[in-house]
Amino acid sequence: MIYREIKLLQIMRHDGVIRAIDLYTPNTVEHEFKDVYVVTEYAGDSIVKILHDQKVTGRTHITPEHVPFIIYQLLRVLKYIHSANIIHRDLKPGNLALTSDSDLTVLDFGMARSLERTETSLTHETPSIDIVLVDVWSVGCITAELMLGQPLFPGEDTNAQYEMITSLCGSPDEELMRKIEATSPATRRVVESYPFHKRQNFTQRFPGCPPLFIDFLDKILVLDPEKRLTVEGALSHPYFADYVDATDEPTAPASFDLNDNPSRSRDEWKGIIWQEIQNFLGDDASPKIPS
């Protein structure tokens, strides 16, 4: 939703989060309002573009040495937004940008949610029954993709995605199945309909990769969220020892209240977004018209 992104880009203050520098609309009165443009700072190329260029040109832009530096920056951002009770929910290479100095910026908060407004779910993006750790699972997938140069789980649909995840990480054990059943008996029945897989040995699965990378991946790509690394646990993993600086891992001063009641009507949201534009423009309250 555009409202959430507009709101979050105004209230978040972190060097790893994309910054809005302007909002404007070609519409001059509220009852005609239908278009809004968000102008952000330039943060570099998206990681998906960088990885694509690597594949096409054969030139390596992201080396194994770059990976822990990039992922440490991502974890710093997650520590900040999670401390504000916000989850991103759409972390992927296309929503991460890198400068030529490998400085990372997290983009696109359109899927972000307040924790208290997010329902627990089990999806093919993350096999987690604790939605707060959806972002942590994504960190594991991104880490692997940076090292391998290609997606770890490139399934084209839900079934293929789930099969690829469980063939590497193993099927849910009985302890996790009980947790799934407590949330949704129907989901347990669906999970039980898939073939059972044992967890692979990650050292054998990722031959030639740095041992600390393998250990980190082995601890973060865990189906049960209660056994998976947390953001804080990930930050303290020795894979990031060369970059970690606990004095430079800021948290939000308070939880962010998005006030994003889903029961509002289309016209109500239209008025709210219009007002956000006016508030952003301040004294220059007339919407800017793009040239």
Positions marked active-site: 90
Alpha helices in the chain (DSSP H): 2-11, 47-57, 66-83, 134-148, 158-169, 174-183, 185-192, 202-205, 211-220, 231-235, 266-281
Q: What six digits make up the tokens of 167?
A: 């063939």
Closest CA to 169 of 181, 179, 158, 161: 161
List C-alpha distances in Å: 72 to 16, 17, 139, 144: 11, 14, 10, 14
Contact 1, 110 (CB under 8 A): yes
Q: Which residues pair with 105 in a beta bridge?
A: 97
Tokens of 123: 């999806």
Sheet containing strand 104-106, edge to edge, reads 45-46, 96-98, 104-106
